[in-house]
Amino acid sequence: MLKTAILGPVYTPDDPHHVAYLQDALVEINQTDKIIAVLTPNDADYQGHLRQAQADGRLTKLTPGQVLVPGFVDLHVHAPQWPQAGHALDKPLNEWLNDYTFPLEAKYEDLEFVQTVYHDLVHTLLANGTTTVLFFGTIHTEANLVLARECMDQGLRSAIGRVAMDNPDQTPAYYRDRSSEEAIAETERFIQALELLGQDEPLAPLPVITPRFVPSCTDGTLAGLGKLAQKYDLPIQSHVSESNWEHQYAIDRFGIHDAEVLDRFGLLTDKTVLAHGTQLTEADAKLLHERGTALAHCPISNAYFGNGVLPVKQLLAAGNEVGLGTDISGGYSPSLYDNIRHAVALSQVRTDGVTNADHGAPDSRISMPTAFYLATKGGAEALNLPVGAIEAGRQADLQILTDPHPWPSESPLERFERLMYQANRSTVAAVMVNGNWVYQVRD
C-alpha cells in the first residue's frame, strides 16, 4: 500500500561515473518505507498513479526550483570530536590527538555534556542532508548509548562503534582501556546493550567493532576484536595508512603495513570500512579488494593530516569499494557537500602535483558525478545497506534541495554540477529517512 509519493525532478547516481536525471519523476514509497517505483511521464501507468496519489492525499509536489536527491552516507564521523571541529588543524596528527582530541574525548564520562553535544551533532548532520552515518564513539559505553538514542529519536540511520584503545605507548593513562580484557569485555557489553536498546526500533543503530587504529591497540585487543566481529557477524571500522606517521608506525612495530596487520587479526572483511588510506600501496589496495573491505575517503581531513591524496579514480577502476566521510573533526565541516567539492579539487591536485618538480599522478581527476556517487551509492555499498539511490527496492532516504539560482539556459548536467558546488545547509529544504520526514525548513 502506498504511504506517500513525491513528484519532481530527480538526480540519482547510476554508477561511479554517471548521474541520472529524471524530469517530473513520481517516486512512490510504501508502508514499509521502501521506494516501490520511480515513474516518469513516458511510463504508461504514470498518469494513473499520479491521479491516485493526488486523490488519496498522499502526494508531495516539489515547488519550482526544487530537486530530489538521495540522502548522503557519511562513512567516518568521530562523534565526540564535534565540539573541536576546526581546532588546531595546523598540528601534526599525533600532536593533535594527544594535545586536543584525547583530552576532549575523556570528558564523555559526563552524560549531561554528552547529551548536549550529541543532540546538536545529530541535528546538524540531518540538516546538511546526511541520512546515514558510521560513527566512532568513545571508550564510554553509556555515552555511546546516548548517541544511539539521539539517532533513533531524531531519525538518523546509524552504525556506532565503542572505541577500543589500550596501548600504553600510544594512549594517555587518563583515557584508555586498562587492559585488553577490559577493551574486549566493554566492547561486548556495548554490543549487547545497543541490541537491547534498539529492539523493535525501525532505525536501531548497528553496533560496529572499532579498534581505533593500529597504534592505539595491543595485539591482544586486535585479536579479541577480530573474534568478536566473527562471533556477532558485525561490521568493523578503523583507520588505515592515514598519514606518514601511522603508516610507518605499523612498519616499525610489525614489519608490515597496517592493512596487513588488520588482516592478520581477522579485521579485514566484506563488512569492514577503513578511513583515509592516503599511504596505501597497490598491494595494500589489492588486499582490501580481495577481502571486500571498503575505504572511506575523507578529503578535507586528508588535506590536513593525510600527507597525500587517496587515488580514488584508480581504486574505483580496480574494483575497490569507496565512499565518502567528513571525518569530524579532522575534517572541520559536517557537510558532505563540502567534502564532495574537496574530493574533486584534491583529485586535480593529485593529477598536477604541487610543484614544478612534482609531476603528480596522471589521470587522477574525478568528476562531480563520481564524487556524488561516493557520497551516496558508494557509501551505501560500503555498509551493505539498501540506500544511497532513488531506485525501486531501496529505503526512502531522500533530501529536497531548493536551487537558489535556477538558470533556465542550463542543461540538467550543468544544473547538477552547479548545485553540488554551491549547495550548503541553507539549500537543504527537507530530509526524509526511512520514509519519514525528519528535518524540514519552516517558512
Report the C-alpha gap between 70 and 5 in whole angstroms.
15
Report the C-alpha gap between 116 and 119 in whole angstroms.
6
Report the C-alpha gap between 354 and 381 in whole angstroms.
33
Span 405-430, mean pLDDT? 94
Strands (E), 325-433: 398-402, 428-433
CA torsion angle for 131, 135, 140, 142 (degrees, to 10)?
20
Beta carbons of 71 and 397 less than 8 angstroms apart: yes
Span 190-219, mean pLDDT? 97
Report the C-alpha gap between 333 and 86 in whole angstroms.
8
Whole-number average pLDDT of the chain: 96
For 153-167, how does the pLDDT look when each residue is reduced to its tens digit (9 = 90+)? 999 999 999 999 999
Residue type, 55: A
The conformational region for residue 349 under phi > 0 = left, psi -120 to 50 = alpha, else beta, is alpha
Helix (H) or strand (E) holding 410: none
Span 247-259, mean pLDDT? 96
Specify the pLDDT at position 443: 57
For 21-48, how does the pLDDT look when each residue is reduced to its tens digit (9 = 90+)? 999 999 999 999 999 999 999 999 999 9
Phi then psi for 117, rounded to 5 degrees? -65, -50
**DSSP assigned state of 378:** I
For 346-400, how does the pLDDT look when each residue is reduced to its tens digit (9 = 90+)? 999 898 887 766 778 888 999 999 999 999 999 999 999 999 999 999 999 999 9
Q: Is 80 a residue whose pLDDT tops 70?
A: yes
Span 128-141, mean pLDDT? 98
> How many residues are present in the chain?
443
Q: Is 269 a residue whose pLDDT tops 90?
A: yes
Beta carbons of 301 and 327 less than 8 angstroms apart: yes
For 420-438, how does the pLDDT look when each residue is reduced to its tens digit (9 = 90+)? 999 999 999 999 999 999 9
Specify the pLDDT at position 116: 98
For 88-105, how does the pLDDT look when each residue is reduced to its tens digit (9 = 90+)? 999 998 899 999 999 999
Of 64-73, 231-240, 353-362, least confident by mean pLDDT is: 353-362
Helix (H) or strand (E) holding 252: helix 244-254
Report the C-alpha gap between 240 and 231 in whole angstroms.
23
Q: What's the pLDDT band for 229 if we cut at 50, 70, 90?
A: very high
Cell readout for 8 is: 519532481
Q: Which residues, in sequence order, are bridge partners of residue 136?
A: 78, 161
Report the C-alpha gap between 395 and 33 in whole angstroms.
6
Specify the pLDDT at position 341: 98
The closest alpha carbon to 210, from 103, 137, 269, belongs to 137
Beta carbons of 22 and 412 less than 8 angstroms apart: no
**Between the CA of residue 424 and those of 133, 168, 335, 336, what are the distances in Å?**
18, 42, 7, 9
Q: What's the pLDDT band for 188 if we cut at 50, 70, 90?
A: very high
